[in-house]
Amino acid sequence: MKTIAVLLSGCGVFDGTEIHESVLTLLALAKAGVNYQCFAPNIEQMHVVNHLSGEVTANETRNVLVESARVARGEVLNVTELDVSQFDALIVPGGFGAAKNLSNFATNGSDCQVSPDVETFLCEFALAAKPVGYMCIAPMMLPRIYQNIQATIGNDTETAHAFNEMGGNHCEASVADIVVDEANKVVTTPAYMLATNIAEANIGIEKLVNKVIEMTV
């Protein structure tokens, strides 16, 4: 049976993993009959956001690995524990955690860097030429991992421009679309960069998951 790694970035859209995107990903994987293992880096979040008010909570810290365990029902490993030979593919849900914790795109834009342990983790899949799927804002890390990468974050002009500045080739897409870079075995979809509800988000996410699984053959 195939096993797919899922990289999380905390718990909550404004400072971690987008929960709907992560749960829909895990559901699609389970429905497709494949195993999955969640991973996250053992680092502190950039900050903590009160999801009721939208305000940053001063003097509060949270750990990305510990928070990701909320989404994974405790079944999550540190990214440093990866044995890439045990996995057929990788999927990375979005949420601001991808731009705040996994990378610093939220603060540095096109000058961003990927967190060192996360970069090593992502590069393992790239070097092994294994299929990967990135959704929402997570594709902004791709130009730091792959050369001449084709991908989408949807249709936001400023973010697409930053992606191209980083050396990528952005492709505009609708919420229901996936963009497939066959050469790099990378699949992307906008998800909540464009989705207005969970049902809309699910269309592209399910397509992405199924395409990634298909590419593992």
Could you say which of 11, 38, 136, 171 is catalytic?
Answer: 136
Say whether 79 sits in a helix, a strand or coil: helix
**136 catalytic per annotation:** yes
Q: What is the β-pairing status of strands 179-181 and 186-189? A: antiparallel
Q: Is residue 171 exposed (0-12), middle (13-18) or buried (19+ Cβ within 10 Å)?
A: middle
Under a CB-based contact definition with an 8 Å cutoff, are residues 174 and 200 in contact?
A: no
The amino acid sitting at 77 is L
Cα-based angle 167, 170, 173 (whole degrees, multiple of 5): 165
Q: Which residues are catalytic?
A: 136
